[in-house]
Amino acid sequence: MSPTSSSTAAQIIKGQTGDWEIVIGMEVHAQVSSNSKLFSGASTEFGAEPNNQVSFVDAGMPGMLPVINEKCVEQAVRTGLGLKAKINLRSIFDRKNYFYPDLPQGYQISQFQNPIVGEGEVFIDLKDGSSVLVGIERLHLEQDAGKSLHDQSPDNSYVDLNRSGIALMEIVTKPHMRSSEEAAAFLRKLRAIVRYLGTCDGNMDEGSMRADVNVSVCKVGGYDKFRADGSFKHLGTRCEIKNVNSMRFVAQAVEYEARRQVEIIEGGGTIKQETRLFDSKLNETRSMRSKEEAHDYRYFPDPDLLPLELDAAWVETIKKSLPELPDEKRARFVAFGLTPYDASVLVAERELADYYEALAKGVDAKAAANWLNNEILGRLNRDSLTIADVPVSAAANNAIVTMVADGTISGKIAKDLLYIVWTEGGDPRQVVEARGLRQVTDTGAIDAAIEAVIAANPDKVEEVKAKPKLAAWFVGQVMKQTGGKANPGAVNAALKKRLNLPDEG
């Protein structure tokens, strides 16, 4: 499998004047996992009383100065390494100047021309099992803003600065995504990577990860020209959809926005470069007029800070401590014998992948994956639980799957056994012994059960001789008779012999 972006099919929008393709780039804001803020010692914990996780620095009080949190620098470097990106040993913090009530200093400390992390790459995994490369343009550190609440009073907005100054990583992609599926898959993959790295909790409900999605459309072929010579003139004018906070909404926003743009262009209009908002209730994007004012952020290096200089040996230490990342894990799982798609589902969450690996120890990889997918994940989805909620350990599941594989129990009993240990607890092997769940392979016992079924159903015996397909009914009855413990293969063979059925029956 050689993953390349341009070889995959772009999503085509059928317009009235022809086919259009979508081009998507993304800016993801990921909250750095740290105890305290980027430039102050206030806590980053979610859900505190208004303004109670705010230091005088965060509130922009006169004379207050920023001092950088080493953990945030380390996390940015770790993320950069996880994105296979270039780490810039010298980066500079700039001030981005604008007025907003939730921006207490009147500027955001960010990185403009010299970010801490340069170009990198992310492979995204599609449903058909293919992989697509999305280029990362850069990653930089910046401060989050506070929050304005508009629904507390008819005339006023209320400002809470608890978020103000929390460290964010802004991760900017190249415009390499071509469909709503790719856009959602990118965000899913990026989330998996930062969670593996432990640099962001990826909690989208709490705003730990938000995406600004840049969407443009062009006539079919425009994108390949762009990739060939790098000139943006082949692409359409883009609109930026702000603060989209789930994979599903990313996909929906892209779908809506691309169609909207095609309609405007085909109607003789032109696309205005603007910032738009995705309304998940109405499933549409709309212009954010308040952001329409011409921006002039007057970036300049923050004179309260000096250039951020990293020691190459320190970066190397972090590199050595990186965990196995989803792509490497996926490759290993595929080598075990899983399909690429199954492997990418399992590696999406580190906890799930770890669970799978423990479950699959010493058993057939595929059988273990099937067991996990069908028996465990199915049940979790039904109850809206996560892998962390499973009451049965991976080791216990490993025991169950192992017992199926060596013929100790039947597949049917395995499911019952799981139910027992799930609801009542206990060690699967002990439960099997205590409750006599071992598979019956003793032909004497099977033959006895067959005789009993035949004796009770003489009419069916005649029927099955005419219609050999009815043998399955007999197998079922015999299984019932043995409490599910009989080996279905052995039952089938004995039945055929006893009733003189042809082999294909």
Q: Contact positions toward another protein, by CB under 8 A?
A: 34-36, 40-43, 49-73, 92, 95, 97, 99, 101, 104-107, 148-150, 152-161, 277, 288, 290, 296, 298-301, 303-309
- Integer-rounded Cα Rg, in Å, for the chain is 30
Q: Which two tokens stand for residue 331?
A: 């490759």
- Our CB check for another protein shows the closer of 91 and 130 to be 91
Q: What does residue 372 show for φ and ψ, rounded to 5 degrees?
A: -65, -45
CB of 250 to another protein, least distance (A): 20
The sign one gets for the Cα dihedral 347, 352, 354, 357 is: negative
Which of residues 12 and 68 has its CB atom nearest to another protein in the complex?
68
Q: Would you state the structure tokens that stand for residue 358, as one six-digit string?
A: 């423990």
Which residue(s) pair with 105 in the sheet?
Answer: none
The distance of closest approach from Cβ of residue 215 to another protein in the complex, given in angstroms and rounded to an integer, is 20
Q: Which is nearer to another protein, 149 or 220 (CB)?
A: 149
> Is 130 within 8 Å of 106 (Cβ atoms)?
no
Contact 253, 241 (CB under 8 A): yes
The nearest distance, CB 203 to another protein, in angstroms, is: 19
Smallest distance from the beta carbon of 134 to another protein, in angstroms?
30
Nearer to another protein, 161 or 403 (CB): 161
Q: Cβ distance 34 to 79 under 8 Å?
A: no
Closer CB to another protein, residue 80 or residue 104?
A: 104
CB of 120 to another protein, least distance (A): 24
Q: How far is the CB of 43 from another protein (least distance, A)?
A: 4
Nearer to another protein by C-beta: 71 or 319? 71
Query: Distance (Å, rounded) from C-alpha 32 to C-alpha 262?
Result: 37
Closest CA to 118 of 137, 93, 134: 137
Nearest to 218, CA basis, from 424, 378, 20: 20
| Residues 107, 110, 111: CA angle, nearest 5 degrees | 140
- Min dist CB 37 to another protein, Å, is 8
304/354 with CB nearer another protein: 304
263 forms bridges with which residues in the sheet?
none
Query: For residue 86, what are its two tokens?
Result: 């270039």
